[in-house]
Structure 1
Amino acid sequence: MRAAEALCRHAADFGGAAETIHLDVMDFVPRAFRKLYTDFYIGLVNKAPALWGYLYQLTHETRPDGSIERLRRAVERLNTTALRREIDRVRPDAIICTHFLPAELLSRMIRQERLACKVWVQVTDFDLHRLWVQEGMAGYFAANQEVAWRMQACGIAPERIHVTGIPIMPAFAAPPERSACARELGIDAGKTTFLVIGGGAGLGSLDTMAARLLALDGDFQLIALAGKNARALASLQALAARYPGRLFPQGFTDKVERMMACADLVITKPGGLTTSECLALGLPMIVNAPIPGQEERNADFLLEQGAALKAVDGVALEYRIKLLLEHPERLAQMRSKAAALGRPLAGRHVLERVLAAD
Structure 2
Amino acid sequence: MAQTSLILSASMGAGHDAVARELARRLRGQGHEATVVDLLTLLPAGAGEALREGYRFAVRRLPWIYAAVYRTFFGSGSRLRGDATPLARAAERQLLAVVSEVRPDVVVSTFHIAAQVTGGLRARGALRPPSVVAVTDFAVHRQWLHPGNDLHLCLTPAAADRARAGTGRPARVTGPVVPPHFRRAAAAPASRWQRTLTDLARGRPPVLLSAGAWGAGSAFPETAALLARSGFLPVVLCGNDDRLARRLSRQPGCLALGWVDDLAELMTAGRALVDNAAGQTAAQALAAGLPVVGYRAVPGHGAEGVREMSAAGLSEFAAGPAELLHVVRRLTDPGPFREQRIAAGRAAFTADSARVIARTASTHGVPHPL
Give the TM-score category using the shorter length: 0.7 to 0.9
CA distance in 1, matches of 2:24, 2:240: 24
Deviation digits for residues 184-239 of structure 1, max 9, x if unmatched? 6522187622112226655244xx543443233x3x43323222233333344444
Partner of 1:196: 209
SS in 1 for 2:197: coil
Alpha-carbon shift at residue 143 of structure 1 (Å):
0.8
Match of 2:50 among 22, 36, 49: 36
Which shifted more, 114-123 or 183-192?
183-192
Partner of 2:357: 354
The 1:134–1:188 alpha-carbon spacing in structure 2 relative to 1, beyond 3 Å, is: same
Deviation digits for residues 295-330 of structure 1, max 9, x if unmatched? 222221333327223254xxx1x6633664488659
SS in 2 for 1:169: coil
8 Å CA contact retained: 1:195, 1:222: yes
Partner of 2:317: 309
Alpha-carbon shift at residue 155 of structure 1 (Å):
4.2
Alpha-carbon shift at residue 260 of structure 1 (Å):
0.7
CA distance in 2, matches of 1:231, 1:297: 27
SS in 2 for 1:58: helix
What letter is aligned with 1:302?
Answer: M
Alpha-carbon shift at residue 47 of structure 1 (Å):
3.5
CA distance in 1, matches of 2:334, 2:319: 16
Partner of 1:296: 303
Which shifted more, 163-172 or 90-99?
163-172
Alpha-carbon shift at residue 52 of structure 1 (Å):
2.6
Indicate yes or no: 2:325 matched with 1:321. yes
SS in 2 for 1:213: helix
8 Å CA contact retained: 1:308, 1:334: no
Match of 1:108 among 109, 120, 133: 120
Match of 2:258 among 251, 259, 275: 251
Q: Which runs of 5+ in 1 are unaligned?
A: none
SS in 2 for 1:186: helix
CA distance in 2, matches of 1:76, 1:354: 23
Match of 2:62 among 45, 48, 56: 48
What letter is aligned with 1:225?
Answer: L
CA distance in 1, matches of 2:125, 2:98: 17
The 1:192–1:353 alpha-carbon spacing in structure 2 relative to 1, beyond 3 Å, is: same
The 1:204–1:273 alpha-carbon spacing in structure 2 relative to 1, beyond 3 Å, is: closer
Partner of 1:161: 171
CA distance in 2, matches of 1:37, 1:113: 28
What letter is aligned with 1:213?
Answer: L
Mapping of residues 223-302 of structure 1, within 5 Å: 223-239=235-251, 243=253, 247-302=254-309
Partner of 1:4: 20
SS in 2 for 1:188: helix
Match of 2:344 among 335, 340, 347: 340
CA distance in 2, matches of 1:176, 1:328: 16
SS in 1 for 2:233: strand
The 1:187–1:92 alpha-carbon spacing in structure 2 relative to 1, beyond 3 Å, is: same
8 Å CA contact retained: 1:168, 1:344: no
Alpha-carbon shift at residue 179 of structure 1 (Å):
5.4
Partner of 1:125: 137
TM score, norm. by length of structure 2: 0.78
CA distance in 1, matches of 2:115, 2:347: 24
The alignment covers a number of residue pairs equal to 335
8 Å CA contact retained: 1:283, 1:339: no
8 Å CA contact retained: 1:229, 1:251: yes
Indicate yes or no: 2:161 matched with 1:149. yes
Which shifted more, 194-203 or 260-269?
194-203
8 Å CA contact retained: 1:10, 1:170: no
SS in 1 for 2:131: strand
Partner of 1:22: 36
Alpha-carbon shift at residue 31 of structure 1 (Å):
4.1
TM score, norm. by length of structure 1: 0.81
Match of 2:99 among 71, 87, 94: 87
CA distance in 1, matches of 2:207, 2:343: 17
Determine what percentage of the aligned residue pairs are the same residue. Answer: 19
SS in 2 for 1:194: strand
The 1:31–1:256 alpha-carbon spacing in structure 2 relative to 1, beyond 3 Å, is: farther
8 Å CA contact retained: 1:122, 1:166: no
The 1:306–1:93 alpha-carbon spacing in structure 2 relative to 1, beyond 3 Å, is: closer
The 1:286–1:200 alpha-carbon spacing in structure 2 relative to 1, beyond 3 Å, is: farther
SS in 1 for 2:35: coil
CA distance in 2, matches of 1:258, 1:97: 29
Indicate yes or no: 2:180 matched with 1:170. yes
CA distance in 2, matches of 1:229, 1:58: 29
What letter is aligned with 1:169?
Answer: P
